[in-house]
């Protein structure tokens, strides 16, 4: 085997499996490192590759749904996840849901059938100098995490245990909400939703009593600086308005003395999505919709992403990654999957294909090709590489990432995306 036809992949999860499949088909000698089954991370339950750790849903298969379109883009690019989903799907309405076991078995068998695979059932604890894709997922920890920290600088790796929901700006009621920064310090960058006392107290009662999603044992150790909003609220009726819902400096002529204020911060470059500041949460999705729609101005809010709670390791991709997903500090190392700052099964898997395409082109001395931003994959990649603002949070597939995508008529954007991914794929295989 030629030296430049050998790649290490760390992690046989969704991203690692996609990357391995792409490279194995191209004849690469793939050294796949997987720490299961010896290591118990309390989320994975089997030794299978591509295991789905929680829900069995790969979300909508409809093309007017951003995740549905991403799956179609992946299918065009020969995704192993899409092949496995086809043979393991279960009835679930408009969602592509799978028999978890069948799905992972299919992926595992297919990858193991390649004679050019070398499987290492061991934990990787350091970064090699050889061409490597790191796809160790949101539960990346221990010595490998330390090694990443060392090459990127400590501040470059982020940890958080819950994410806050994101809503579409055009679904916010601006007869109630208004733009303002605290004490007019900066530009009026935040959207503010003011509560009167009665509304606030009713909201806190509902929040505290709302149903929470089931937690894994390792999730219950909250970071004090990143507590779920319902946990803060349960510490006393006044706690939130002295914390994330502090109203001081946020009054206006119309609302001179709001009792409490929810602030929303811009989340996308485009400015059409906003996250609820301080609203990291572990409520079930239906409860998030019910309770957060009690916030004045958010009664009809469209949720682009709900809050989610689990341990999550991801890198600050806008700072530490090159355009081809390689580390600026160690350009032979490529990052794929959830570790790269995307969120979700499908998104993580898609980043595995992309990292494999990019590393193979580099090893073959071919030019880097950018995935068109008119595709969901291209737009998502653009987001993780160029997100602005101080607090970079993982992102899932959504239409707001595609500039100019019109809500009333998705057809042109869908066609554009599929045409673009087809052309990209032809160029990749040229």
Ligand X SMILES: Cc1cc2nc3c(=O)[nH]c(=O)nc-3n(C[C@H](O)[C@H](O)[C@H](O)COP(=O)(O)OP(=O)(O)OC[C@H]3O[C@@H](n4cnc5c(N)ncnc54)[C@H](O)[C@@H]3O)c2cc1C
Residues that bind ligand X (CB under 6 A): 10-16, 33-36, 41, 43-44, 53-55, 123-124, 135-140, 144, 216, 310, 337-339, 344-345, 348
Cis previous bond, 37, omega within 30: yes
Min dist CB 51 to ligand X, Å, is: 7
Sign of the CA dihedral 376, 381, 384, 387? negative
Min dist CB 401 to ligand X, Å, is: 17
Please, which residue, 48 or 191, has the CB nearer to ligand X?
48
> Contact at 8 Å (CB) between 104 and 49?
yes
Half-sphere exposure of 158 (CA within 13 A, CB side): 22
Please, which residue, 157 or 262, has the CB nearer to ligand X?
157
End-to-end CA distance of the chain: 22
Of 306, 304, 295, nearest to 193 by C-alpha is: 295
Distance CA 335, CA 134 (A): 5
Residue 379: exposure state from Cβ atoms within 10 A (0-12, 13-18, ≥19): buried
| DSSP characters over 184-224 | G-SSS--EEEEEPHHHHHHHHHHHHHSPBPP--GGGGS--G
Min dist CB 160 to ligand X, Å, is: 12
Q: For residue 112, give both structure tokens.
A: 């193991």
Min dist CB 308 to ligand X, Å, is: 7
Helix (H, G, I), strand (E, B) or coil at 77: coil
Please, which residue, 66 or 135, has the CB nearer to ligand X?
135
Distance CA 194, CA 217 (A): 36
Please, which residue, 124 or 304, has the CB nearer to ligand X?
124
* Residue whose Cβ sits closest to ligand X: 13
Please, which residue, 31 or 310, has the CB nearer to ligand X?
310
Tell me which DSSP letter residue 34 carries. -
- Tell me how far CA of residue 151 lies from CA of 179, 185, 331, in angstroms: 40, 36, 11
Of 202, 163, 187, 195, nearest to 298 by C-alpha is: 195
Distance CA 221, CA 384 (A): 28
Min dist CB 346 to ligand X, Å, is: 7
Min dist CB 122 to ligand X, Å, is: 7
Please, which residue, 176 or 216, has the CB nearer to ligand X?
216
Angle formed at CA 32 by CA 26 and CA 38, multiple of 5 degrees: 160
Please, which residue, 41 or 64, has the CB nearer to ligand X?
41
Q: Which residues are CB-contacts of 232 (< 8 A; sequence separation ≥ 6)?
A: 239, 240, 243, 244
Please, which residue, 268 or 396, has the CB nearer to ligand X?
396
Min dist CB 380 to ligand X, Å, is: 13
Distance CA 324, CA 395 (A): 18
Min dist CB 135 to ligand X, Å, is: 5
Min dist CB 117 to ligand X, Å, is: 15
- Tell me how far CA of residue 339 lies from CA of 98, 143, 335, 352, in angstroms: 24, 15, 7, 11
Min dist CB 314 to ligand X, Å, is: 9
């Amino acid at each position: 085997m030629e030296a430049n036809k050998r790649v290490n992949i760390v992690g046989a999860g969704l991203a690692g499996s996609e990357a391995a499949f792409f490279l194995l088909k191209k004849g690469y000698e793939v050294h796949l490192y997987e720490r299961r089954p010896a290591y118990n991370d309390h989320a994975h339950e089997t030794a299978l590759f591509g295991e789905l750790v929680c829900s069995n849903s790969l979300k909508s298969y409809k093309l007017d749904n951003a995740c549905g379109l991403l799956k179609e883009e992946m299918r065009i690019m020969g995704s192993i996840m899409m092949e496995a989903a086809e043979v393991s799907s279960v009835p679930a309405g408009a969602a592509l849901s799978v028999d978890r076991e069948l799905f992972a078995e299919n992926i595992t068998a297919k990858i193991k059938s390649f004679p050019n695979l070398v499987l290492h059932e061991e934990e990787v604890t350091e970064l090699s100098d050889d061409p490597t894709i790191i796809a160790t997922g949101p539960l990346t920890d221990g010595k490998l995490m330390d090694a990443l920290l060392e090459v990127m600088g400590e501040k470059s790796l982020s940890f958080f245990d819950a994410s806050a929901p994101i809503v579409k700006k055009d679904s916010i009621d601006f007869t109630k909400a208004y733009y303002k920064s605290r004490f007019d310090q900066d530009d009026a960058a935040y959207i503010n939703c003011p509560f009167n006392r009665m509304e606030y107290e009713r909201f806190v009662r509902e929040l505290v009593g709302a149903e929470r999603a089931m937690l894994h044992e390792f999730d219950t150790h909250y970071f004090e600086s990143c507590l779920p909003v319902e946990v803060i609220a349960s510490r006393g009726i006044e706690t939130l308005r002295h914390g994330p819902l502090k109203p001081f400096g946020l009054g206006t002529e119309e609302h001179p003395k709001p009792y409490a204020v929810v602030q929303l911060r811009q989340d996308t470059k485009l400015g059409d999505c906003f996250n609820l500041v301080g609203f990291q949460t572990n409520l079930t999705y239906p409860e998030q919709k019910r309770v957060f729609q009690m916030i004045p101005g958010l009664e009809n809010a469209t949720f682009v992403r709900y809050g989610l709670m689990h341990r999550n390791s991801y890198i600050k991709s806008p700072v530490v990654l090159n355009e081809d997903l390689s580390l600026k500090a160690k350009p032979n190392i490529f990052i794929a999957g959830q570790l790269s700052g995307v969120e979700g099964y499908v998104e993580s898997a898609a980043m595995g294909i992309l990292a494999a395409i990019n590393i193979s082109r580099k090893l073959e001395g071919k030019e880097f090709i950018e995935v068109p931003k008119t595709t969901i994959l291209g737009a998502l990649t653009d987001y993780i590489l160029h997100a602005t603002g101080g607090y970079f949070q993982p992102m899932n597939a959504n239409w707001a990432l595609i500039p100019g995508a019109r809500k009333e008529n998705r057809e042109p954007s869908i066609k554009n995306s599929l045409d673009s991914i087809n052309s990209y794929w032809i160029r990749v295989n040229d």
